[in-house]
Copies of this chain bind each other. A is one copy, B any other.
């Protein structure tokens, strides 16, 4: 696959057409029908949580949030391949991959709702928190890969970043270190074609992102990021490559962020309605649904039911989330070091004294 779709050729791996037809049987992934259905459900679930979170934000029940609407195949098609022992090293736009690992909507809301507890992930292992400084997580992934390899632990590191992220020096250092170390890392670029307002052409002069793999002597492949099968298939091949001891792989999943960069962003400033329309047609969930329905594995009716079920579940969970215990002064201090230094103890005490004074005056 990596030869056939060598990035110098400029050909993108696509398996499922926007109409939901398999157009490339040769590279169909090995995946059971049951799993495909699971993945589809996860895509729908992710979208439900995403859209609801945007609406909670609009209602003032959530701070600024970064939606992922439209990128479900890209993150779930790749992330669904993760096993228990694997590692997820995300950026901030991989909610579907988070869910696959056991992160809950409550975790997500805690984070975007402004609470550090949203990075605790009590139900997920080997899952890093959201990484805000663009591309920095890519090097962490290389280090985790080294750690796994050195300690002969099973597991592959899945790390995510955007098209914009490829411009940072950290992208370069991360891929270089991992390639020199032959570390078990799959580098996944969710190329949604924009870094906030900046289009890919102004971000880089390379013909595609996959080709950047050549700088590190690793395979690279561009896949249709709205095609669940293409994403899954390339990831599967990448994992095989790694298991054969051949080192890391770069996957570029070409997709589109259908929503805003964050709820504070206004995409109409930098892209057209026409363009948005084109990508609506290529929607990843619609596409996989067409396939499933055509295969008689799913029906519109199932879909309506599922969506409704998820909406209710999510709604209920959100109400629960909103009862989360309030933030305490101690939460500011207690986790910075393993043992709180005297300076911090004192700063906290000073603050408490002030609170007492304030109390005494009111």
Contact = CB atoms under 8 A, between A and B. Distances in A.
Interface stretch (A200-208, A255-263, A275-283, A348-356): A200-208
Determine which residue in A170, A206, A216 has the highest number of CB atoms from chain B within 10 A of its CB, and name it: A206
A171 interface: yes
A119 interface: no
A165 to B, nearest CB: 12
A336 to B, nearest CB: 28
A182 B202 CA distance: 11
A8 interface: yes
Contact of A180 (B179, B203, B216): B203
A303 interface: no
Interface string A8-26: 1000000000000000000
Interface string A156-172: 00000000000111111
A106 interface: no
Contacts of A202: 180
Interface string A170-214: 111100100110100000000000000000001111110001101
A214 B206 contact: yes
A217 interface: yes
A70 interface: no
Nearest to A209: B215
Nearest to A7: B214
Contacts of A66: none
Interface in A232-258: 247
B217 A215 contact: no
A170 B204 CA distance: 15
A247 B217 contact: no
A211 B215 contact: yes
A218 interface: yes
A217 B202 CA distance: 12
Nearest to A212: B215
Determine which residue in A167, A168, A172 has the highest number of CB atoms from chain B within 10 A of its CB, and name it: A172
Contacts of A216: 204-206
A204 B204 CA distance: 22
Determine which residue in A8, A207, A215 has the highest number of CB atoms from chain B within 10 A of its CB, and name it: A215
A331 B173 CA distance: 38
A207 B215 contact: no
A197 to B, nearest CB: 15
Nearest to A170: B169
Contact of A167 (B173, B182, B206): B173
Contact of A176 (B8, B173, B204, B214): B204
Given A167-B172, A168-B173, A176-B205, 12 more contacts: A8-B8, A167-B173, A169-B173, A176-B204, A179-B206, A180-B202, A180-B204, A205-B247, A206-B214, A207-B217, A211-B214, A214-B214
A-B residue pairs, 9 tightest by C-beta? A169-B169, A172-B172, A179-B205, A205-B217, A212-B215, A206-B217, A215-B215, A214-B214, A211-B214
